[in-house]
Amino acid sequence: MRSGKPPANGARAARPASPPWLADAGFGETKTRILDAAFRRLASEGYAALNVRDIARDAGVNHALINYHFSSKDQLVIEVLDAANRRLLARQTAMYERPVGFAEKWAEARRFYEDDLASGFVRVQAELWAASFSNRALREKFLPRVLAWKKIILGAVREALEALEGRRQKLPAPFTAEVIACFIAEFWLGMEFADLLEAKEEDAQHRAALDAVQWLLEGLDARLAAPVPRRRKRK
Amino acid sequence: MRSGKPPANGARAARPASPPWLADAGFGETKTRILDAAFRRLASEGYAALNVRDIARDAGVNHALINYHFSSKDQLVIEVLDAANRRLLARQTAMYERPVGFAEKWAEARRFYEDDLASGFVRVQAELWAASFSNRALREKFLPRVLAWKKIILGAVREALEALEGRRQKLPAPFTAEVIACFIAEFWLGMEFADLLEAKEEDAQHRAALDAVQWLLEGLDARLAAPVPRRRKRK
DNA sequence: CTATAGTTTGAACAACTGGTTAAACCAGGT
DNA sequence: ACCTGGTTTAACCAGTTGTTCAAACTATAG
């Protein structure tokens, strides 16, 4: 019998049957519950305090099952990150398809971020990010994602700069698309780690900074929507 | 007998007598060695793997001494962060006094960063930053430092913007000094966490981004050095 | 029914954790 | 000499850690 469908019931406590979180990819119910509990534990207690017994208790499952379904605690953590990566990839491609303006893309990214912050996703990512400093396997899961993420940003920035050049506007030489994309990517990452410190003073500043970019992009969208100027910029 | 001076010798192994690292503040030799070993352990193995016995072995002392000199492992970690804070404060005020151009300030910050990366300081800071997500005492040590750091940046940005305004140049409304300072601070923080992932691809991009700001500031410095355009008095 | 294969359980293991303790050590003061 | 108070040591404690294992359970196939 493969572990496709849930095994009728067993004497399992009546738990909220696995939230939508990382529930995809045809895992058995137990496996999903463990993954989900591990995620929640990472989000609430952090990586340093992570241990299989608490995870099992949260999942409502015997703790030996963790080594049965995942071969070790380390492997479980890696699969948590894997699931997170799958989820991000799906969202990313979904966003890619939608052909909207730059400002709207930015706004959607902000909405996603708010969700991720509230759901604990940002926290888990930060915990595993730090853990990956001393965990090669974990780091190797992060690197391609970071690179892919930067590539997305770079693509959007390139698009924007080319549009600007079509309007005969150009940024100073050192500000290449790569540089601007780097600014955005690392700013965002820094914002995540800063937000997790939960300094209320920061929140307002972050919103203001995000708003400023939003304003910039709205201006860009407007200019792109207007008819091309005859000879030189009109404004 | 206070723990002011080193106790002659004892049968201590011939260890490299406490590197310059966090050695200040009149601690006894043993205390300093433990602090130093804890720092090195954090920099090499990370917070999650930190334990008193390894620290003691690294310091060449009995592990019971950690609970004798610091009252607990948690307290030791806090004092490591305290020492780091003291060090940063000293450097910061030293840099404050030196009245140089904006570009030179930026360049010095970059040099400091390179040192901190090589010495493991950035790594330790990142480890403790993440640990502070679930450690109130640690977080309370971070918050004032982060706030102070941002204040420094904000001060410099304000200065620059005022100088620009003296030259009748003005940024678009949403780009206040606070917003720009926020961009810089979070970009820098993100860069630290990204560098710790050790993706070689990133390094070049970071350098290019830092160079771009450098270029901007050199232009600003040059403009400020040049005579004021007619129409209004200087600053 | 029985056989079979996947799943679950409770108990156990050995290693490791932070912390404590009594005794020893080591100076200086009297 | 003795006492004193800070320091160091080895042994120890109780609790936690990840992991293993044989036995029990469950559902399906023959």
Amino acid at A2: R
- Residue pair B120/B39 in contact (Cβ under 8 Å)? The answer is yes
- pLDDT value of position B84: 94
- Is the predicted pLDDT of residue A234 greater than 60, yes or no? no
pLDDT at B194: 97
Q: Return the residue in B73, B179, B217 with the most chain A beta carbons within 10 A, the one to mutate for interface testing.
A: B179
Between CA B192 and CA B187 the distance in angstroms is: 9
**What is the full DSSP assignment across B71-131?**
SSHHHHHHHHHHHHHHHHHHHHHHHHHS---HHHHHHHHHHHHHHHHHHTHHHHHHHHHHH
Residues of chain A in contact with residue B183, where contact means CB-CB under 8 angstroms, are 183, 187, 209
Instruction: Answer whether B134 touches A (CB < 8 Å).
Output: yes
Contact, A213 vs B183, CB < 8 A?
no
Average pLDDT on B25-45 reads 91
Q: Give the tens place of pLDDT for each residue, B88-113.
A: 988 887 776 776 899 999 999 999 99
What pLDDT is stored for residue B168 in this prediction? 81
Domains and CATH numbers, chain B: 9-225 (1.10.357.10)
How does residue B161 score in pLDDT terms, banded at 50, 70 and 90?
very high
Residues of chain B found within 8 Å of residue A199, distances taken between Cβ atoms: 143, 146-147
Per-residue pLDDT at A43 exceeds 50: yes
Residue B164 has pLDDT above 50, yes or no: yes
Distance of C1' in D28 from CA in A26, Å? 20
Per-residue pLDDT reduced to its tens digit, A173-214:
999 999 999 999 999 999 999 999 998 889 999 999 999 999
Tens digit of each residue's pLDDT (9 = 90 or more) over A69-126: 999 999 999 999 999 999 998 888 777 677 689 999 999 999 999 999 999 999 999 9
Instruction: Mark yes or no for CB contact A197/B131 under 8 Å.
Output: no
Q: For the ranges A31-40, B4-13, B71-80, which has the lowest average pLDDT?
A: B4-13
Return d(Cα B62, Cα B53) in angstroms, integer: 8
CB–CB contact B48 A131 (8 Å): yes
Buried b / exposed e along B32-69 (16+ C-beta atoms within 10 A) = bbbbbbbbbbbbeebbbebebebbbebbebeeebbeeb
- Determine the Cα–Cα distance for residues A56 and A41; give it in Å rounded to an integer: 10
Set of chain B residues whose Cβ sits within 8 Å of the Cβ of A145:
none
Of A133, A146, A215, the CB nearest to B123: A133
Q: Which residue of A has its CA nearest to B196?
A: A133
Site of tokens 């696995």: A18
- Residue A15 pLDDT greater than 60, yes or no: no
Measure the CA–CA gap between B26 and B87, rounded to whole angstroms: 14
Give the angle B160-B162-B163 at the CA atoms, nearest 5°: 65
Torsion of CA B81, B83, B89, B91, to 10 degrees: -120
Cβ atoms within 10 Å, residue B187: 24
Rounded to the nearest integer, the mean pLDDT of chain A is 86
pLDDT of residue B22: 52
Query: pLDDT-based confidence at A165, cuts 50/70/90?
Result: confident
pTM for the complete prediction? 0.89
The residue of chain A with its CA nearest to that of B208 is A179
Helices marked H in chain B — which ranges?
Answer: 29-45, 52-59, 64-69, 73-97, 102-119, 121-131, 136-166, 177-196, 200-225
Q: Nearest chain A Cα to B141, which residue?
A: A197
Residue A150 has pLDDT above 70, yes or no: yes
Shortest Cα–Cα distance, B114 to chain A (Å): 17
**Across residues A41-54, what is the average pLDDT?**
98
Mean predicted confidence (pLDDT) in B149-170:
90
**Which residues on chain B are in Cβ contact (under 8 Å) with A47?**
48, 130
- Closest by CA to B58, choosing from B77, B80, B39, is B39
